Chains A and B, each alone.
Chain A
Amino acid sequence: MITDLKPLSKLWLPLMLLAIFAFPFVDTNPYHVDVMVTTGIFMLLALGLNVIVGYSGILNLGFAALFAFGAYTYALVNIHWHVPFWIGLWISGFATALFGILLACPALRLSGDYIAIVTLGAGEIVRIALNNLDTITGGPNGLLGIDHPGLWFPKYQFGVKSEPYYFLVFVLVLGVIFFLKRLESSRLGRAWCALREDELAACFMGVSPVWAKLSAFAIGGFIAGLAGCVFAAKQGTVSPDSFDFVVSVMVLAMVVLGGIGNIGGVLLGALTLSLLPEFLRGFESYRMLLFGLAMILMMLFRPQGIAGFVRPKEEYRPKKITSPK
């Protein structure tokens, strides 16, 4: 079945890349491009959360905290020290990875629903802290005057147009996918998967749960940090209400709806849930009602998500198998 698709699968990647590249040239409506930038940011977030929820099976209800941390990190280093975007991106990534590890520490001793509650609490604490640390974060007004990215050579300022962000965000998405693919079929990826399937059995296989879980939070945090940094740089401002609990739920819904643990599925989930509200605009005030209905229906008819739990299989093509006696 899968082998039948082999010739197709070689084609779809270049086709996909071409489609992504061509989109802003074909569809010149700036609003559409802008929606796609948001979609791309949500794709990053969904990919990051997928490492935690999908690969390692830790239910995280406070992912917006990591997103917020990434955004505020870039905002602060940029405003105070004029750190350019390209360096801020790395700072945001690594700082958020560390923050993710910090958040994971209290959660390590817990399992299942209890971790979910801890992450939920952590998410709220971060939002409330951002609201109230007026001297650092500017409180509910947030931070203003964050630099947009620019290139030195050729000299180019991203400004407030959407197109450059579109390319930036999709380069990041592709880069993240590249590394996640590697992780998936590595010792660490298998350890995550084993941990999700049966934590006790995984421990008896020699998997250190602390190592695996902290790695998951670090990578999830890093990706969320990238997303946050791009978000802050594009908006030029950050404020706490962009990192509401609803964001955490939305990203989680993308992961679950698309297919837990599957990169393609998660991307599809992010695409669907970002674009669906836009397509439903014609229904005006019924929009969110229909959106909710669509989500319920999707879960009813495909509870495992669009492409749930399909992992790339470890291929072994033996050159010469010596038959077992």
Chain B
Amino acid sequence: MKSNKSLSEYPILTLKNVTKRFGGVTAVDHVTFTVKHGDVLGLIGPNGAGKTTLFNCITGLSSPNEGTLYFGDSQVLLNRLYPYQITTKGIARTFQTIRLFKNMTVLENVMVGAHTRMRTGFWGALFRPRWVKIEEKKITAHAYRLLQFFGLSSKAQLLAGNLPYGYQRKLEIARALAADPKLLLLDEPAAGMNPTEKEELLELIRAIRGRGVTVLLIEHDMKVVMPISDHVVVLDYGKKIAEGAPKDIQNNPHVIEAYLGKGARQ
């Protein structure tokens, strides 16, 4: 399945003993794994297993108490960076609950997503020299192309808050992709979607992977995770209890015990 073997040898993201405690609760407990270039990695686990906390550690929202996170070809240490700096390094994310800019248009949402791709600063915005105008045009076109890719171009001028739910989910992904990330973190993108929409989402994630973006995916729905993932990591009570190819995970007794239950054997 992997199109580029040589690249995928190298990890794009390395987690070593990442631990996050909230008071007495250890939400993420010495988690170690790597994400390979060009892979789709599924992160699964029961509710409260620490998946989102791990996402927050990667994206800089909360800094881990222990352990290290390295990202990219030059393996930058992410631990002490702010969220916006991490985005600049090439990691973008979506949210479990939709967090669009509701009073901005669909197109503007994606253009904000492209914030890190632009150079216009304070003075550039104020005096708008020629290069800023050109950059604006480029970014608008870039955002528009992305909307086309997601089938949202006809809604470009609508306010994001007025979109139907399924489109809002898509727009979140489009906005995250606008930054041209190397690694895309999707936090339960299929939540609240119907089977048709989930099918579309799978296609979309495949297409995103086809663009050379590595995807780290939190998902509850096995019908979404299993067909799309190259590799699956399972968390339970903050600990990594298993990892491997989707097929192995489905047959792993620990995982079945912790999470998948009877449904996995169907």
Contacts and interface: CB of A to CB of B under 8 A. Distances in A.
A316 B107 contact: yes
A203 B84 contact: yes
B228 interface: no
Contact of B104 (A186, A207, A219, A311): A311
Given A186-B136, A190-B111, A318 B144 contact: yes
A198 interface: yes
- Which among B84, B102, B103, B116 has the greatest number of chain A C-beta atoms within 10 A? B84
A4 interface: no
A190 B104 contact: yes
Contacts of B93: 204
Interface in B97-126: 99-105, 107-108, 111-113, 115-116, 118, 120-122, 124-126
Contacts of A207: 84, 112, 115
User: How would you classify the secondary structure of chain B's contact residues: helix, strand, loop or mixed?
Assistant: helix
Contact of B148 (A190, A202, A321): A321
B165 interface: no
A183 B124 CA distance: 9
Interface stretch (B41-49, B149-157, B198-206, B239-247): B149-157
Interface string B142-185: 01100011010100110000000000000000010001000000
B122 A314 contact: no
B125 to A, nearest CB: 4
A314 B105 contact: yes
B191 interface: no
- Per DSSP, chain A at the interface is helix
Nearest to A194: B112
Given A194-B112, A314-B107, A186 B125 contact: yes
Contacts of B140: 314, 316
A113 interface: no
B21 interface: no
B108 to A, nearest CB: 5
Contacts of B99: 198, 200-201
B112 A316 contact: no
A182 interface: yes
A204 B176 CA distance: 9
Interface in A203-257: 203-209, 211, 215, 218-219
B128 A204 contact: no
Interface residues of A, number: 37
A190 B156 contact: no
Contacts of B148: 321, 323-324
Contacts of A309: 103
B100 A201 contact: yes
Contacts of B156: 316
B101 A186 contact: no
A205 B104 contact: no
B88 interface: yes
Contacts of B141: 316, 318
B229 interface: no
A210 to B, nearest CB: 9
Contacts of A188: 120-122, 125
Contact of A182 (B61, B87, B128): B128
B125 A201 contact: no
A206 B87 contact: yes
Interface in A281-325: 309, 311, 313-314, 316, 318, 321, 323-324
A183 B144 contact: no
Contacts of A205: 84, 87, 92, 112-113, 115-116, 175, 179
B122 A215 contact: yes
A324 B151 contact: yes
A203 B91 CA distance: 12
Given A314-B140, A316-B144, A201 B101 contact: yes
A208 B126 contact: no
A314 B111 contact: yes
Interface in A105-137: none
A202 B153 CA distance: 22
Contacts of A191: 112, 115
A265 B230 CA distance: 53
B131 interface: no
Given A204-B87, A311-B103, 14 more contacts: A183-B126, A190-B115, A193-B101, A194-B101, A200-B99, A204-B84, A205-B115, A205-B179, A207-B112, A208-B84, A313-B107, A321-B148, A324-B148, A324-B153
Interface of B: 59, 61, 82-84, 87-88, 92-93, 95, 99-105, 107-108, 111-113, 115-116, 118, 120-122, 124-128, 132, 136, 139-141, 143-144, 148-149, 151, 153, 156-157, 175, 179
17 contacts: A186-B136, A188-B121, A188-B122, A190-B104, A190-B115, A191-B112, A194-B104, A198-B100, A201-B100, A205-B84, A206-B87, A206-B116, A313-B105, A316-B143, A316-B156, A323-B148, A324-B148
